Structure 1
Amino acid sequence: MTQRTNRTGLADATPPLGGVDAIGLQQLRTTFDTTQLLRAVDDLDTICALVADPDELRTDLLRLHGMAHALINGGAISTTSVDETIAELAVDIEAELDDMSALLLAIRQRIRPLLALIRDDG
């Protein structure tokens, strides 16, 4: 990559990387571990597996709706399983969503250092 620093202290990189902040780039070269981005891909794969399993979250949310509808609106219960209470199911769903949220936040934290590359041309 051809790079030069202009008089404003900004690095000009050849496309497709575009211009980046020279100071931010220098800091990242000494502190950023690019394998963090591969870990972000692994985290995303885990999230996709959790969401893509049709027998998990979607089904649980539909069961929770059926239970809540019966309990709160007096509707007919649509599930036949009595293995789990509405509260237990809500706790399980919340825990799964917490796991996914934690993975999304981890991905966000892994890419956040790259924001140091944003040029401030203004």
Structure 2
Amino acid sequence: MTQRSNSTGRIDAASPRGGVDVIGLQKLRATFDTTHLLRAVDDLDTVRAVLVDPDELRADLLRLHGMAHTLINGGALSATSVDETITELAADIEAELESMSALLLTIRQRIRPLLTLTPDDG
């Protein structure tokens, strides 16, 4: 691995994947568990399962629209389950979206430490 100085005096290491900040690299070698990236793949697969076949979420959103349209706009009553309230359906949809959002944020947090490898050419 070759090294060069940058404007801050830090050394950039030339790796097969481009230059990296040596101090950041040393820190990650001591603290970063690369299996977190494999877990990020699993998290993404969970989100993809919903997004690849979003029919249930789509149907729920359309049903919620029908309920809201009837309640708020005085629209025609749409066919819906009598046992399901607008607030229950909205809460279910919100929980599903929150779960997907949390998984995406977890993926982001898993890759964020790798940004310390960015060379400071500033």
Q: Give the TM-score, by structure 2 length.
A: 0.89
What is the aligned partner in structure 1 of residue 13 from structure 2? 12
Amino acid in structure 2 at the alignment position of 1:9: R
1:40 aligns with 2:40: yes
Deviation at 1:13, TM superposition (A): 1.9
Identity %: 72
Question: Partners in 2 of 1:21 and 1:80 — Cα distance?
Answer: 58
Q: Is the 8 A contact 1:10 1:19 kept in 2?
A: no
* Relative contact order, higher structure (CA 8 A, sep 6+): 2
1:89 aligns with 2:89: yes
What is the aligned partner in structure 1 of residue 54 from structure 2? 54
Question: Partners in 2 of 1:105 and 1:80 — Cα distance?
Answer: 34
Structure 1: give runs of 5+ residues left out of the alignment: none
Amino acid in structure 1 at the alignment position of 2:53: D
For residues 65-87 of structure 1, give each alpha carbon's deviation from its aligned partner in whole angstroms, at most 9, with x where no partner exists.
11001110011133332220000
Deviation at 1:54, TM superposition (A): 3.4
CA distance 1:121–1:114, shift in 2 (3 Å): same
Question: Partners in 1 of 2:92 and 2:98 — Cα distance?
Answer: 10
What is the aligned partner in structure 2 of residue 28 from structure 1? 28
Residues matched between the structures, number:
119
Question: Partners in 1 of 2:44 and 2:12 — Cα distance?
Answer: 31
Structure 2: give runs of 5+ residues left out of the alignment: none
Q: Give the TM-score, by structure 1 length.
A: 0.89
For residues 48-74 of structure 1, give each alpha carbon's deviation from its aligned partner in whole angstroms, at most 9, with x where no partner exists.
112233342111111101100111001
CA distance 1:52–1:78, shift in 2 (3 Å): farther
Amino acid in structure 1 at the alignment position of 2:98: D
Deviation at 1:30, TM superposition (A): 1.0
What is the aligned partner in structure 2 of residue 110 from structure 1? 110
Runs of 4 or more, structure 1, over 3 Å off, are none
1:72 aligns with 2:76: no
Give the secondary-structure state (helix, strand or coil) at the position aligned to 1:83: coil
Give the secondary-structure state (helix, strand or coil) at the position aligned to 1:56: helix
